[in-house]
Amino acid sequence: MKIVTVLGARPQFVKAATVSRELKKQGLEEVIVHTGQHFDRAMSQVFFDEMDIPHPNYNLEISGLQHGAMTGRMLEKVEEVLLQEKPDYVMVYGDTNSTLAGALAASKLHIPLAHVEAGLRSFDMKMPEEINRILTDRISNILFCPTTTAIDNLHQEGFRHFHTQIQLVGDVMLDAVLHYKEKSKRFSKILQTEKLLGKKFVLATLHRAENTNDPHRLQSICEALNEIHKKTTVVLPLHPRTKSYLQANNISLNVHVIEPVGYFDMLMLLHNCDLVLTDSGGLQKEAYFFEKYCITLRDQTEWVELVHEGVNSLAGADRNTILRDAELAKHKKVTFNPALYGQGDAAKKIVAALKKS
């Protein structure tokens, strides 16, 4: 069996690495296509070597375009690869433009399609990611879902009546955290370089367009972070796009700003922080894996089970709500159910299902 995997961003490579290892173990051939959607200096030779991630067989180098142009160019180039490779399956991850382009290319060539992280919904149709998720799910042959909530979403959308396999496999991000957790302690020096050893600190990230592109939301979030920083150090790896919007709108950010960090450094920051504030989807779950309470700087989340479990609060961009939730988090006693996202064997279940299909 030959599988073509289409990826476009560093987090997707980390997730896919868990499945790639299992594919190799089971003797299945994998061809990896990197669309180039996110140009990332961190994805150097060291990134692939240290993390034991397979190098892409194809790098399409498509980036820096508007959504339509980018997706269309990817669709054209991925189709060329598929016609040459003639795979038995195409596999895509998550909700990027690369995900949708890979899915469309496979569907139009009638090649079976597998979607990892299927069934997630934020119910915010203004998010490009939401459009990509919904369309990719609808044209997939196998939907690998991380949670029962994801399966419920698909059932509510009528997927029981489609010719689609729906599989509950758990979350590949949990597989990745378990695999890299100990390794990150050896490779990461972030606590030493940023003088955070033994210190209490809050980890924050801020990059989503709904926050950075809206000066009022950005101002409100920054005011809250500045206020929290007065009592507890707020460590914020600053995304270049966020930095440019702060400068353009003359918004001050008086926290412990650091350069964007790699995966190992992020794991170490998560492991040692006291609280997480983020508008990232992935970091909400990783906070949970490290048993850290998370305040989400968004109005909705795909990971609604975290809110239901009482380990995540949706604060949006309101300064007072963020400050209130940060204060309440100090006194919250929460339990972290490790079974919420499976047992760390999602990759094994995915490969087993592919072999049976």
Q: In whole angstroms, give the CA distance from residue 18 to residue 107.
A: 25
Say which residue the tokens 């399966």 belong to. 151
Per annotation, catalytic residue among 38, 110, 179, 207:
207
Kind and range of the H or E element at 293?
A: none
Is residue 169 left, alpha or beta, with left meaning phi > 0 and alpha meaning psi from -120 to 50?
alpha
Kind and range of the H or E element at 143?
A: strand 142-145
Does residue 99 contact residue 130 with C-beta atoms inside 8 Å? no
CA angle 166, 340, 30 (to 5 degrees): 50
The SS3 call for residue 172 is helix
- Sign for the CA dihedral angle at 226, 227, 229, 235 comes to negative
Based on the residue annotation, tell me whether 115 is a catalytic residue of this protein. Answer: no
How many CB atoms within 10 Å of residue 172?
28
Residues carrying an active site annotation: 207
